[in-house]
């Protein structure tokens, strides 16, 4: 099994475990003996509870931003959520798109799809569907989506460039995305880079901020805008599981920064040639 497939299987296994737990359990889980911090994937999460359409059963506390809040969804839009989990962003998007809209959630983990479908059924939403699949190769036709959202998922994907190519393919001309993700400025210690827990926690799989924005531009998107940015501070009691005292002090004294960014970008209506050449 190659490295990319190993990473995908690790992510699938970890998030299958998370899907079987509630938000309270996820947030109260300890990271080691004598510590009380939440797991890394919970440290980053923002509060969704004030957004219209919020459903607590769908909130596992796994995000690193509020992309749907910034996504400029209109009534009747078709919205796709990449890494839809238990359906949190999909249900908020459905509130924005209305009964005439359509929402598709795509997730790699069967247990998450099962949970999201059960939540949709309880809510009686006929225009929200969930598809199991790899966002590097979406089971969606080209030029379908008005809006794409994603919350702290692309950092888990080995081939981020391929995902942005897929986003471009699936968006309609004039469509746009709003994605929250984790990026770096500076380099993580090698010990953190090689830990599966830090990868599943959305840190070890993060790439440099400039490289991330560069991938978006290289794939043909325009009007690239950072809608929100915040620093992520991983507590010492988590870092001590992976770094010795000298490594911890060096990391904290260094220039490495971990950030959550929410990025907006558009697929232009034309390619500058006056024809439908963007599809």
Q: Where are the domains of the chain?
A: 3-267
pLDDT tens per residue across span 123-163: 999 999 999 999 999 999 999 999 999 999 999 998 999 99
- Residue pair 200/41 in contact (Cβ under 8 Å)? The answer is yes
Contact 145, 79 (CB under 8 A): yes
Across residues 243-267, what is the average pLDDT?
92
The pLDDT of 13-35, averaged and rounded, is: 59
Q: Could you tell me what percentage of the chain is helix, strand and coil, using 3-state DSSP and rounding each to the nearest 5?
A: 35, 20, 40
Instruction: Give the integer Cα–Cα distance in Å for 78 and 103.
Output: 6
Strands 145-151, 128-132: pairing kind: unpaired
- Share above pLDDT 70 across residues of the chain, in percent, rounded to a whole number: 86
What are the phi and psi torsion angles at 164 (to 5°)?
Answer: -65, -35
Helix axes 160-170 and 209-218, enclosed angle (nearest 10):
40
> What end-to-end distance do the CA atoms of the chain give, in Å?
34
Mean pLDDT across 204-210: 91
Task: Give the Cα separation of 2 and 85 in Å (integer).
Answer: 25
Percentage, residues of the chain above pLDDT 90: 59
pLDDT for 35: 38
DSSP 273: S
DSSP letter at 5 equals H
User: In this predicted structure, what is the pLDDT of residue 262?
Assistant: 98
Taking the CA of residue 97 as centre, how many other CA atoms within 13 Å lie in the half-sphere pointing to its CB? 29
Q: If one looks up domain 3-267 in CATH, what number appears?
A: 3.40.50.150
Q: Is 50 exceeded by the pLDDT of residue 38?
A: yes
């Amino acid at each position: 099994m190659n490295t990319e497939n190993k990473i995908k299987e690790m992510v699938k296994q970890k998030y299958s475990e998370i899907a079987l737990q509630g938000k309270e359990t996820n947030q109260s889980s300890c990271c080691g003996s004598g510590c009380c911090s939440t797991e890394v994937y919970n440290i980053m999460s923002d509060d969704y509870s004030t957004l219209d359409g919020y459903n607590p059963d769908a909130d596992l506390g796994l995000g690193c931003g509020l992309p749907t809040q910034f996504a400029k969804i209109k009534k009747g839009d078709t919205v796709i959520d990449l890494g839809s989990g238990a359906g949190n962003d999909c249900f908020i998007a459905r509130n924005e798109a209305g009964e005439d809209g359509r929402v598709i959630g795509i997730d790699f983990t069967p247990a998450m799809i099962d949970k999201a479908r059960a939540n949709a059924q309880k809510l009686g939403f006929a225009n929200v569907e969930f598809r199991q699949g790899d966002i590097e190769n979406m089971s969606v036709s080209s030029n379908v989506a008005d809006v794409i959202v994603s919350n702290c998922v692309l950092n888990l994907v080995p081939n981020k460039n391929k995902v942005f190519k897929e986003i471009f393919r699936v968006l309609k001309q004039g469509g746009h995305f709003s994605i929250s993700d984790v990026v770096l400025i500076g380099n993580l210690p090698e010990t953190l880079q090689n830990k599966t827990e830090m990868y599943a926690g959305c840190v070890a799989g993060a790439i440099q901020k400039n490289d991330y924005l560069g991938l978006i531009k290289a794939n043909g998107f325009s009007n690239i805008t950072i809608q929100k940015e915040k620093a992520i501070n991983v507590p010492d009691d988590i870092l001590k599981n992976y770094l010795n005292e000298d490594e911890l002090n060096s990391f904290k004294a260094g220039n490495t920064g971990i950030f959550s960014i929410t990025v907006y970008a558009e697929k232009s209506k034309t390619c500058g040639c006056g024809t439908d050449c963007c599809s």
